[in-house]
């Protein structure tokens, strides 16, 4: 039986996030696979996938900040907010310089309201906004609060797409932002702030929290060694316990415990004597209280 754990996947552009998980199901022989943070079809980069009961820990990963690199196209806007979508608006952008772009970037830092793209997985009365848009329905999405911690122009892009007749200025960008931020919508808003239009290409998620895509593997390169213990991804203290203590946690009972190496009122992992993580616990004054048991029942 496969132990619970995480796998760092580098999703290729052109694959859905769901399709990227297929090799995991075959490799580990389980349908109990989940992931934190869906990527658009054309986007690539880091997905943290969970195997078996590690799926219970995904909410603790989903709240982490995300880092993206992408190309900002100025001078036109499409229905999907991607550079190869159907042209909706077109304006002038040939004179926009790297310096003028950098001048507006501080205005986008911090908490703000963002209107998501109509082509998104957000549901309206149980139906995805993208599906309603495909059917020709008028979709109006409410703004959502997001946070942008860092937004940097890396320079004028070496990839120019002026032969399409749509792109006038392309810049390489990097953004660190909160959960729920749409990079496509950010590029739209950057274009508007510059007095023109904007959209995106080549979105790549390079990090989730402190986990880098450099440590990820392509779905085609997965192996059994790709499965990582949950404590390698979530930075909580780990305590090794005796068998009777693990049994109590498995039964949902708190146990007497005191630690001088971790703060009280914090999260931690409880592992068996072999170092295998068995439960996520909250460390309270004089006790460990189980939140989720994630070990195998026969351990």
Catalogue the active-site residues. 40
d(CA 136, CA 228): 44
d(CA 139, CA 78): 15
* Nearest C-alpha neighbor of 213 from the set 82, 71, 69: 69
Q: Please give the structure tokens belonging to residue 40.
A: 């658009």
**What are the E-state strand segments in 56-186?**
66-74, 76-78, 87-90, 110-114, 123-124, 127-128, 144-156, 169-177
d(CA 81, CA 199): 5
Sign of CA dihedral 140, 18, 31, 50: negative
Q: What is the largest CA-CA distance in the chain?
A: 71
**What are the E-state strand segments in the chain?**
5-11, 33-36, 44-51, 66-74, 76-78, 87-90, 110-114, 123-124, 127-128, 144-156, 169-177, 198-208, 211-212, 238-240, 255-256, 266-271, 277-284, 287-293
Residues paired with residue 196 on neighbouring β-strands, in sequence order:
none
- For residue 64, give the DSSP letter: S
Phi, psi of 284 (to 5 degrees): -115, 165
285: CB partners within 8 A, 6+ apart: 264
d(CA 4, CA 7): 10
């Amino acid at each position: 039986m496969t132990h619970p754990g995480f796998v760092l996947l580098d999703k290729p552009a052109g694959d859905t996030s769901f399709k990227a998980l297929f090799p995991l199901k075959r490799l580990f022989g389980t349908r109990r696979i989940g992931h934190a943070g869906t990527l658009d079809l054309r986007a690539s980069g880091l997905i943290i996938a969970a195997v078996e009961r590690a799926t219970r820990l995904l909410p603790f990963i989903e709240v982490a900040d995300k880092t993206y690199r992408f190309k900002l196209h100025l001078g036109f806007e499409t229905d999907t907010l991607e550079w190869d979508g159907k042209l909706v608006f077109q304006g002038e952008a040939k004179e926009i310089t790297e310096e003028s772009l950098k001048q507006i970037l501080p205005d986008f830092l911090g908490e703000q309201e963002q209107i998501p793209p109509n082509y998104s997985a957000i549901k309206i009365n149980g139906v995805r906004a993208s599906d309603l848009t495909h059917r020709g329905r008028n979709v109006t999405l409410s703004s959502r609060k997001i946070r942008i911690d860092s937004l940097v122009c890396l320079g004028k892009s070496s990839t120019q797409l002026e032969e399409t007749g749509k792109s006038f200025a392309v810049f390489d960008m990097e953004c660190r932002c909160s959960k729920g931020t749409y990079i496509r919508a950010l590029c739209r808003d950057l274009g508007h702030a510059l007095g023109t239009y904007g959209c995106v290409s080549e979105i790549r998620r390079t990090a989730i929290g402190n986990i880098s895509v450099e440590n990820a593997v392509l779905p085609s390169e997965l192996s059994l060694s790709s499965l990582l213990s949950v404590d390698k991804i979530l930075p909580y203290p780990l305590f090794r316990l005796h068998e009777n203590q693990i049994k109590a946690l498995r039964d949902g009972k708190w146990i007497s415990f005191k630690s001088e190496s971790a703060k009280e009122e914090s999260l931690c992992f409880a592992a068996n004597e072999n170092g295998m993580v068995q439960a996520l616990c909250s460390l309270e004054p004089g006790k460990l209280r189980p939140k989720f048991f994630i070990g195998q029942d026969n351990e």
